[in-house]
A and B are shown apart, each in its own frame.
Chain A
Amino acid sequence: MRTRVSSSITIVLGTLFLLLPIVLLPESHSAEYSAKEILDKIDKMWRGESSRGTFSMQIKTAHWERNLRIKSWTKGLDYTLIRIEYPKKEKGVSTLKVKNNLWNYLPKIKRVIKVPSSLMMGRWMGSHFTNDDLVKESTLVNDYYHRITFEGEREGQDVFEITLFPKEEAAVVWGKIIILMRKRDLIPLYEEFFDEKEKPVRKMIFSNVKKMGGRVLPTKMTVVPYDKPGEFTEVTYVDIAFDIEILDTFFSLRNLRMQGG
């Protein structure tokens, strides 16, 4: 049976999570792993060699509410293509990420525009995800120091808390990230993002842990901004396939324009 989860959304989230089969990391051994090893393992396991997925995105703000259906393709850490399938007005609006570059394609006017680095903290398509969530995703392990800051029972579960602080030389946007994950299968429960003054900015909550695409993972993630009460963006996976055949040339500007996929 194919389980479903879009790993691309995990990219969108800029997070690292994923399921190690319990056998790989039995509870009795967990203490031997450093935070870095855990993150590194998660990072590697999580996307597979490649993926193709579908998810829905519900965005609620003070002024409007929308539902999008989105398809995504990923390969390694460098390539991502995301395409909006629904609603009609945005059908075909696509985002391509190649290494640290980000482009949007707008089918209505048939133009590709590059998203400048100054807008990396801008909202992706009006959601509470930032453009940076897409691009800087792969740098979490490289650009932050990691430390297990808590290990034990919390909310009735045996958990790890990993705190990430940016390295001095890293050009990162968050001042601190706290990740809480279940010890028994390393499924993340939530991630909390802080600014440079260590003031909490937003929280990403993971839920609906299911088997999809052959892996066990949270199939729902909700971003809640702290400065805008009542607003959120919720992503729910519909379908995912890992380790599919996909060429690098699929992630090209040409293909972005041609609406490949």
Chain B
Amino acid sequence: MLLYLKLAWRNIWRNNRRTLITQFALVVALSLMIAFSGLTWGLIKQMERNATLLGPGEIQIHSPGYLDDRSIYRVVDHPDIIISKIEKIGVKAAPRLQGFGLVSQGENSSGAQIWGVDLMREKEVTEFHNHLFKGSFLKKERDVLLGKKIAVTLDASISDELVIVTQAADGSIGNDLYRVVGILSGISEEIDRSTIMMSIGDFKNIFSLGDVATEIAIRRSDETENLNSLRDRIKNTIPEEEVKTWRELFPAVSDMLELTDLSIYILLIIIYLAGSLIMLNTMLMSVFERIKELGIMMAIGLRPLQVLILIFLETFFLTLCGSLVGLLCGVSLSLYLTHYGLDLSSITEGFSFVGILAEPHWFAVTNITTVLPPVIFLFVLSLIAVIYPAMKASLLKPVDALVFH
């Protein structure tokens, strides 16, 4: 066996230049794929975070029917009792109220989605307070936060006075004055364009509501816990309410993110197809120029299977050398992108993807899931590519091979 290894190793260095060029192609392909995979996973992670911790939370509780008819009359009663029940399961929860209102600043006005949030609990469940473009999070009554685009629509900046007019739950006209304390960074189309946050107490006042919530947002304390089983445990505690994970609430976003994963493999196949054609060419050339040599080896007793093994070993070494260097380059590139990111802010202000906003400063993720598939694929495709030359070599008849020119 050692002999085969030695033979294979020497054979690939018969033609240095060809081997190096082939390996260079593998290095480029692998480095690119590792970096691309890291960036894609980075995007998926960021999207998942934006879709949960910058929005609905990971699980939500609603009154049955609220999701079909989002009205302030379909509410969860006494949310505090429910929260204290489910906190015993070991999750963080925050009550919310949502309704529609007309918001005006100076001469400008716009329709808006109004959120009433619990000033303390909301910070435990979501990351809005770490995602401010300007100003600070809600601190007291009559403070409001604005989405980035609606702030532009209203021409509102920090400490401006806002008027909000609503149709209260009792049919009366709710109206009051508020002060802008913060503007959120880009999060999602919906939040940016139309959302205003205030304290849940202010919301109850302007909408004339009692001790109710339209939804309760939940975040796992333990991030490794399975969302579906957690949902089932919450559901068992409060069987009368509707409990759903964010994947159930936003199936389009969830499906899209899962499909994004697939895009890695699509690009992988395209780039590696080119790589494996180079590999095929190299090995085919190498077999053809050694037909006489192989013929001699077979004549002195090498069996076809042994020739096959030899050719595959050569390919393996070729790929191994290329992939070691490629791994080094790719992981370095990916780590660089993980730490410093790809700053696209000069080109775009961020792009929207199934309604979830991706930030212009794009960070990669580097871990075993991002690095391993590109490497494994490279080996698999190289070995597949070399089946043809290897068969060709092993099926040689020594008699013909010896007289081949």
Contacts and interface: CB of A to CB of B under 8 A. Distances in A.
Contact of A115 (B102, B169, B172, B175): B102
Given A62-B73, A63-B171, 17 more contacts: A59-B171, A66-B171, A89-B172, A106-B165, A106-B173, A108-B175, A109-B176, A111-B104, A113-B102, A114-B104, A114-B108, A115-B102, A115-B109, A116-B109, A118-B111, A122-B102, A125-B173
Interface residues of A, number: 26
Given A115-B102, A118-B110, A106 B175 contact: yes
A65 B171 CA distance: 7
A123 to B, nearest CB: 7
B68 interface: no
Interface in B73-128: 73, 102, 104, 107-111
A109 B172 contact: no
A64 B171 contact: yes
Nearest to A62: B73
Nearest to B110: A116
Given A109-B163, A109-B177, A118-B111, A66 B104 contact: no
Contacts of B222: none
Interface string A94-116: 00000000001010110101111
Given A106-B165, A113-B163, A118-B111, A126 B171 contact: yes
6 A-B pairs closest in CB distance: A113-B104, A64-B171, A106-B175, A66-B171, A111-B163, A126-B167
Nearest to B103: A113
Given A109-B175, A111-B177, A119 B111 contact: yes
A63 B173 contact: no
Identify the interface centre among B110, B171, B173, B175: most chain A CB within 10 Å of its CB.
B171
A66 B109 CA distance: 27
Interface of A: 59, 61-66, 87, 89-90, 93, 104, 106, 108-109, 111, 113-116, 118-119, 122-123, 125-126
Interface string B6-49: 00000000000000000000000000000000000000000000
Contacts of A109: 163, 175-177
Nearest to A89: B172
A121 to B, nearest CB: 11
Interface string B55-68: 00000000000000
Contacts of B111: 116, 118-119, 122
B168 to A, nearest CB: 9
Contacts of A114: 104, 107-109
Identify the interface centre among B110, B175, B176: most chain A CB within 10 Å of its CB.
B175
Interface in B215-245: none
B170 A64 contact: yes
Nearest to A61: B171
A66 B169 CA distance: 12
Nearest to B176: A109
Contacts of B169: 63-64
Contacts of B170: 64
Nearest to A113: B104
A90 B167 contact: no
A195 B330 CA distance: 58
23 contacts: A63-B169, A65-B171, A89-B173, A90-B172, A90-B173, A104-B165, A106-B165, A109-B163, A111-B177, A113-B109, A113-B163, A114-B107, A114-B108, A114-B109, A115-B109, A116-B111, A118-B111, A119-B111, A122-B102, A122-B111, A125-B173, A126-B167, A126-B172
Interface residues of B, number: 19
Given A109-B177, A116-B109, A116-B111, A66 B163 contact: no
A109 B102 CA distance: 14
Nearest to A123: B167
A244 to B, nearest CB: 28
A205 to B, nearest CB: 22
A132 to B, nearest CB: 14
B171 A113 contact: no
B151 to A, nearest CB: 15
Interface string B174-210: 0111000000000000000000000000000000000
Contacts of A59: 171
Contacts of B102: 113, 115-116, 119, 122
Contacts of A89: 172-173
Identify the interface centre among A62, A65, A66, A114: most chain B CB within 10 Å of its CB.
A114
Contacts of B171: 59, 61, 63-66, 126
A100 B175 CA distance: 24
A89 B62 CA distance: 31
Contacts of B108: 114
Contacts of A62: 73
B32 to A, nearest CB: 46
A75 B351 CA distance: 50
A66 B171 CA distance: 7
A63 B163 contact: no
A129 to B, nearest CB: 13
Contacts of A108: 175-176
Interface string B147-172: 00000000000000001010101111
